[in-house]
A and B are shown apart, each in its own frame.
Chain A
Amino acid sequence: MMHRLGFCAGQLGSLRLRLAGQLLPARAMSLKVGDKLPAMELVEGPEMKKVNLQELFAGQRSILFGVPGAFTPTCSRVHLPSYVRDYDKLKAKGISQVFCLAVNDPFVMQAWSDANGAEGKVRMLSDTQAIFVEAAGLSLDLSHLLGGLRAKRFVMVIEDGVVKQLDVEPDPTKATCTLADEVLQSL
């Protein structure tokens, strides 16, 4: 299922969407198929390693999937496990790296990875301040449930830094089109 988002290829980057504590509307900011990933820095791991998205995805065929929250029911029971389980099948189809992104700090992401046996398969990216998801039009306000902005549930296939496929789950509490086996069928 393809989800067409707005057009904004040239405005991605390290734009901050907060002004005096107010969130600006994200309608003009979104990532779509054909766009290059922004040159944003996220964090990987408890050592707080900074990773540049463009460098991370250059020259590789990758999957990046987003989840609303580490340790939340759907993310933990179904979504992350699907990628851990189907990792070898994804590699057999030419995917060289799989990343999971969430608006959670790197310590929580590491603990979640450990709890799901993701080590060596799915790498965890912390979009700690939600800069990527806001810029990409992939943020979800879950303040009432989890305390802040989170990522929508999505999956992207990225080739040499360019988004080739993007699916966003219409109901973030469910994982259907964003599961690994669905992506496998499209590769």
Chain B
Amino acid sequence: TAMTSQVKPGDRLPQVTLFDGAPNKPVRIDELCAGKSVVIVGVPGAFTPTCHSSHLPGFVADFDKLKAKGVDLVICVAVNDPFVMAAWAGALGSGDKVLMLADSRAEFAKALGMDIDLTAVLGSVRCRRFSMHVVDNVVKSVNAEEDSSKVDASSSCRLLTKI
């Protein structure tokens, strides 16, 4: 169970540093999201089956629909190192649609109360599967998957109905 209670509508985004493509490219998530309408997608692991074949592709495919609803930025976060996240972005062809940020030490996942212990399978604490809509750093909706191996509540089409 997470040490912090799960993020909910009305909460502000935590002031956590993520990494964009390399360990020397830090990004403060709250600075990145300031003044913008942002979708944040959390996933258990880059290249893991569900994340790779259904969850992320949905957001890449629905990018234009999200933009039409005023979303400025779609971010995907996972507890993987920045090189793995960059390679995954390349493999997914997410290009300029989804910004892949590395939550290398699970600080963001923990701050959101979205951490899940997947040590037995993946070797470390990871991020639960969720999608979230944030406007100017204030959380508007959170859709956490009960079962992180599935994509249901956290899908892009479900999120579109909430924006």
Measuring CB to CB, which residues of chain A are less than 8 angstroms from any residue of chain B?
46, 48, 69-73, 76, 103-105, 107-108, 110-112, 115, 126, 128-130, 143-148
Contacts and interface: CB of A to CB of B under 8 A. Distances in A.
Contact of B84 (A70, A126, A128, A129): A70
Contacts of A72: 81, 83
Contacts, number: 73
B45 A115 contact: no
7 contacts: A69-B83, A70-B84, A104-B84, A111-B47, A145-B23, A146-B83, A147-B106
Q: Chain A CB within 10 Å — which of B52, B80, B123, B124 has the most?
A: B123
A147 B46 contact: no
Nearest to A112: B87
A73 B84 CA distance: 11
A144 B19 CA distance: 12
A147 B79 contact: yes
A149 to B, nearest CB: 10
Contacts of A71: 81, 83-84, 86-87
A111 B104 contact: no
Chain B interface size band reads: 20 to 34
Interface in B91-136: 91, 102, 104-106, 119, 121-124
Contacts of B45: 105, 107-108
Interface of B: 23, 45-49, 52, 79-84, 86-88, 91, 102, 104-106, 119, 121-124
Given A72-B83, A111-B91, A143-B105, A105 B23 contact: no
B87 A129 contact: no
A107 B86 contact: no
Contacts of B106: 147
Nearest to A70: B84
B54 to A, nearest CB: 14
A145 B80 CA distance: 11
B47 A115 contact: no
Nearest to A110: B47
